[in-house]
Amino acid sequence: MSTLKPFSKIPELNSANVLLVENEEQFQKKLADVIVNAEKDVSVGVRLARRLPLPVENEETRPCIDLVVFIINLSFERSFQSVELSLKYVDPGFFLGKVCFLVTGARCWSVSSDRLQSVRKLATSLRCPLLYAEDQTVEGVNTAAARLLRVLKVTAGLTPWATGLSLSTLTRCTLSSDLEGDFD
C-alpha cells in the first residue's frame, strides 16, 4: 500500500510510460495495443491496472510513470466509484499535469446525465483534462490512442516547448452549467 509518486524513479532516455487504470478492463487492452504499435520514435511502455494502489511486489521493476489515465465507463456505476477510491493513492505531484480522465459511453442512451456531471465535477476539482472516447469503433480507439499518446509525449518531456503542466492548464476540464437549463 503505497502512493504512486511521480519522481521516485529516474526517467530513461527517449522513453515514456503510461498507466491505464480501468476497473472493467474492457477498453484499456485495446487502447494499449494501439498505443504501443502507433509510436515508432520513442519506446512507449503501457502499464495496465484495475485500480490503485499498485501491488508492492513489482515496485522495483516498475518504470517511472509519466501519465496516469483513469478510464471511466459511464455505463457502469462501479467504474466511477472505483476511480474515486484509486485517486487516494496518487501523489499530489501527479496532479500537476500528469493525470487525465478518459470517459467512454457518454453518448449512450442508458446513461443518466448525472453520472457524466459528477465525472466532470471530479475532473474540474482536480484540474485535470477530461477526454471523451468512442470505444466501440476502431476509428474511435485509434483517435483516443493518438490523443493519449500526444499528451503522454508532452508529459514525458518529449515535445519541445511544452510541459505537462502547461498542456494541462490549456485543456483542463471546466464545469459548464447544464445546457438544458441555460440555453433558453
Contact residues for another protein, defined by CB under 8 A? 75, 103, 105-110, 116, 129-134, 136-137, 139-140, 142-144, 146-147, 150-151, 154, 159-162, 167, 170-174, 176-177, 179-180, 182-184
When the beta carbons of 11 and 140 are compared against another protein, the nearer one is: 140
Residue 152: CB minimum distance to another protein, A:
11
Strands across the sheet containing 99-104: 43-49, 15-21, 67-73, 99-104, 130-133
Helices (H), 126-174: 138-155, 164-171
Residue 13: CB minimum distance to another protein, A:
20
H or E element in which residue 22 lies: none
When the beta carbons of 15 and 142 are compared against another protein, the nearer one is: 142
Query: What burial letters (b/e) apply to 42-73, b meaning 16+ CB within 10 Å?
Result: eebbbbebeebebeeeeeeebebbbbbbbbbb
When the beta carbons of 54 and 106 are compared against another protein, the nearer one is: 106
H or E element in which residue 67 lies: strand 67-73
Residue 132: CB minimum distance to another protein, A:
5
Euclidean distance between CA atoms 32 and 145, whole angstroms: 8
Residue 1: CB minimum distance to another protein, A:
32
Match 477498453 to its residue by C-alpha cell.
27
Residue 4: CB minimum distance to another protein, A:
22
When the beta carbons of 15 and 159 are compared against another protein, the nearer one is: 159
When the beta carbons of 21 and 103 are compared against another protein, the nearer one is: 103
